[in-house]
Amino acid sequence: MTAPLTPPHRPSPHDSAWPPPYPAAPKDEDDAPDVATEVRQGAVVLLAVTLAGIALGLLWLWLAPRVPLISDGKAVFLKETEGEAAVGADGTFALLALGLGALSAAVVFWFHRHGGIAIVVGLAVGGVLASLLGWGVGTLLGPAHDVAGHARAVGAGVTFDAPLKLQAHGAVLAWPVAAMLVHLALTALFGPRDPEPDWDGPA
């Protein structure tokens, strides 16, 4: 009677190749960066979004309707007492801020798909600062704020533009709100997914 042979599918226990080494875990290409890197990325996002407010101010100055004024030599009056140009300026600012907020969120998501608290905070705070910067640029480069001096300079009976103003101050929140909503939607639809757990039971 001969001793049983080792099964062909199972190497001998004395074989140096047994047991087989465990396969290395696959490296995730979308690993989130460390905290320091994420903070730096958030700071870059904050700075870039804030500087984009210059574009908001220039576009607002270009597209916002003007409020015409006229002087009789003694006082300054609205040329069109029922005009809606002042409301149109606020609406133009809000619409531009919404569009740029959505665009900034899309760009940030394209370069930082992993997300992160620092990046989201940078996007939100940068949106507020961009709105404030755009407001300042538009009013600074717009018509002169010295209405009386402007009226004396152009003379009586000559129409001139009123200073560009933002009366609805809540419009400065349009950029960060749009940025947060768009970034949240993109993250939910196209963001990296957590690996599903392996529920394989015993054979």
pLDDT range class, residue 22, cuts 50, 70, 90:
very low
60 within some domain: yes
> Which residue type, as a one-letter code, is found at position 126?
G
What is the mean pLDDT of the segment spanning 165-192? 91
Higher pLDDT, 96 or 35: 96
pLDDT at site 30: 47
pLDDT at site 71: 77
6 within some domain: no
pLDDT at site 202: 56
DSSP code per residue over 119-172: HHHHHHHHHHHHHHHHHHHHHHHSS-S-HHHHHHHH-TT--EEPPP----GGGG
Q: How many CA atoms lie within 13 A of 183 on its CB side?
A: 29
**Cα–Cα dist 168/87, whole Å:** 9
b/e sequence 126-138, b meaning 16+ C-beta within 10 Å = bbbbbbbbbbebb
pLDDT range class, residue 7, cuts 50, 70, 90:
low
Question: How many domains would you assign to the chain?
Answer: 1
18 within some domain: no
110 within some domain: yes
- 158 phi and psi angles, rounded to 5 deg: -105, 130
Tokens 């998501």 — which residue? 109
181 within some domain: yes
21 within some domain: no
pLDDT score of 75 more than 60:
yes
| Cβ neighbours, 10 Å, residue 40 | 12
pTM here is 0.74
pLDDT score of 56 more than 60:
yes
Q: Which of 91, 102, 165, 89 is nearest to 130 (CA)?
A: 102
Higher pLDDT, 159 or 83: 159
137 within some domain: yes
Q: What is the mean pLDDT of the chain?
A: 80
86 within some domain: no
Which range of residues forms the domain containing residue 138? 35-68+93-142+165-190
